Amino acid sequence: MTALRHYLQFRDLTREEYAHLFERTRWIKDRFKRYERYWPLEDRTLVMIFEKQSTRTRLSFEAGMHQLGGAAIYLNTRDSQLGRGEPVEDAAQVISRMCDLVMIRTYEQEVLERFSRHSRVPVINGLTNEYHPCQILADIHTFIEHRGDIRGKTVAWIGDSNNVCNTWLQAAEVLDFNVHVSTPPGYEVEPERAGLYGTSHYEEFADPMDAARDADLVTTDVWTSMGFEAENEERKRDFEDWQVDAEMLRAAKKEALFMHCLPAHRGEEVAADVMEGPNSVVWDEAENRLHTQKALMEFLIHGRQAPG
Ligand code: CP
Ligand code: NVA
C-alpha cells in the first residue's frame, strides 16, 4: 500500500519526485494525444471542494479524473454543510471515507492543513490565499517543454506577492533556480508566509524593468486575488507601473517566455500584445494543468510508476 501523501504546498515533493512527475506527465500527455486509453484510476473517486470560483482548476481535475478512468464529484461551500459551519475536521473524516482523493480550493492554508490532518486519503491544494502548487507544477512543465531544464534559470515575477508568487519562490528552492521579484511598495514578499527556507533563491527589485532584465521567463498575475476584492481600487492605483508590456519583455532575454496563470486582465497586469505575442505560452500553460495533475493524482494514489 502507498504511504499517505498530501500535496499542500510545492515543497511537499522533492526535486527527484518532480523529475518523476514531469516524466510521467510527458508519457500520459503523449498517450492522451494519441487517444490511447489509460485508466490507472478506474473505480477511484476524487472529491473537489471549492470555496472560491474556478474555471481551469475544476475543469482540469474533473476531466483529468474522468480520462484516467475515475469519477469526480464537485462540492461547493454554498450547497454543502461546509457553508453552515460543520467543522473542517468532521467534514474531513466523512468525506475521506467516501473517496480516494480530495482537492480543496479555500481561503487560509490552515483550513487545508486541518482537513489533511483528519483525512484518510491524499489531499491536494487547488489554491489557497498562500499557495497554488498545481499551477506552478504546470508552469514548470511548460517551461521544460519549451526550453528544457529550469535549474539555474531566472524567472521574473512582476506584481503582487500573492499565492502564485509564493509558490514560484518555493519552487525555486526545490528545483534550484532564481526568482527576480518586483512588487509595489507595501506588497513585498513575506518569506515566512511564503514558507521559504531562506532568501538565497530570490532577489527583490524596486523597478520592475530591473527584475525583467535578462530573465528566461517573465510572469505575472492579477493585481487583486480572490478574497481581496475590497482592495481593488487601491490596488489599481498602486500597481499601475507594474504592467508587463512589450518594453518590459524586451528587457528580458530574446527567447524569454511569458506566462500568466489566468484569468488575465489585459490592460492591467499585462498588455494585450504580450498576451498574444510570440513569447506567450499561456494556452500551453493552461492545458498542462490537465496533464500534470493527472501525473500528480496517479502518484498520490499509486506511488511511483515504472517508466513507459
Ligand atoms: N489558474 C487557475 O487556477 O484558474 P482557475 O481559477 O480558473 O481555476
Ligand atoms: N492569485 C489569483 C490566482 C487565480 C488563479 C487568485 O488567488 O485569485
pLDDT in tens, 99-152: 999 999 999 999 999 999 999 999 999 999 999 999 999 999 999 999 999 999
pLDDT tens per residue across span 139-195 = 999 999 999 999 999 999 999 999 999 999 999 999 999 999 999 999 999 999 999
Residue 223 has pLDDT above 70, yes or no: yes
Output the pTM of the full model: 0.98
The mean pLDDT of 285-302, rounded to a whole number, is: 98
- Considering the domain architecture, whether residues 147 and 279 belong to the same structural domain is answered as yes
Who contacts 46 (Cβ-Cβ below 8 Å, separation ≥6)?
Answer: 61, 62, 65, 70, 71, 72, 73, 99, 100, 101, 102, 103, 297
- Considering the domain architecture, whether residues 94 and 140 belong to the same structural domain is answered as no
Does residue 34 form part of some domain?
A: yes
- Considering the domain architecture, whether residues 46 and 165 belong to the same structural domain is answered as no
Res. 306 pLDDT band, cuts 50 70 90: confident
Does residue 234 form part of some domain?
A: yes
The rounded mean pLDDT for the chain is 97
- Considering the domain architecture, whether residues 145 and 275 belong to the same structural domain is answered as yes
- The two most distant CA atoms of the chain are separated, in Å, by 54
Query: Ligand 1 centre and the CA of 115: distance in Å?
Result: 21
- Considering the domain architecture, whether residues 21 and 61 belong to the same structural domain is answered as yes
- Considering the domain architecture, whether residues 243 and 275 belong to the same structural domain is answered as yes
Does residue 276 form part of some domain?
A: yes
- Considering the domain architecture, whether residues 269 and 151 belong to the same structural domain is answered as yes
Does residue 303 form part of some domain?
A: no
In whole angstroms, what separates CA 183 from the centre of its chain? 19
Does residue 304 form part of some domain?
A: no
Q: Residue 201 sits in a domain of what CATH number?
A: 3.40.50.1370
Residue 79 has pLDDT above 90, yes or no: no
Which residues approach ligand 2 with their CB closer than 6 A?
A: 127, 162-164, 221-222, 225-226, 261
- Considering the domain architecture, whether residues 149 and 268 belong to the same structural domain is answered as yes
Closest ligand to Cα 157: 2
- Considering the domain architecture, whether residues 240 and 221 belong to the same structural domain is answered as yes
> Locate cell 483529468: which residue?
64
Looking at residue 308, what is its pLDDT?
66
Does residue 105 form part of some domain?
A: yes
Out of 30-44, 81-95, 219-233, 279-293, which region has the weakest mean confidence (pLDDT)? 81-95
- Considering the domain architecture, whether residues 45 and 139 belong to the same structural domain is answered as no
Asked about 261 being catalytic, the answer comes back as yes
Asked about 221 being catalytic, the answer comes back as yes
Between CA 295 and CA 301, with CA 300 as vertex, the angle to 5 degrees is 100
Helices and strands per DSSP (H, E), number in the chain: 11, 9
The span from the CA of 250 to the CA of 200, in Å, is 26
The span from the CA of 168 to the CA of 295, in Å, is 20
Give the chain's domain count.
Answer: 2
Please indicate whether residue 134 or residue 306 has the higher confidence score (pLDDT): 134
Does residue 58 form part of some domain?
A: yes
- Considering the domain architecture, whether residues 89 and 141 belong to the same structural domain is answered as no
Does residue 195 form part of some domain?
A: yes
Residue 78 has pLDDT above 90, yes or no: no
The mean pLDDT of 259-269, rounded to a whole number, is: 98
Residue 1 has pLDDT above 70, yes or no: no
Domain assignment of residue 122, given as a range: 10-132+288-298
- Considering the domain architecture, whether residues 151 and 115 belong to the same structural domain is answered as no
Which residues approach ligand 1 with their CB closer than 6 A?
A: 54-57, 127, 135, 261-262
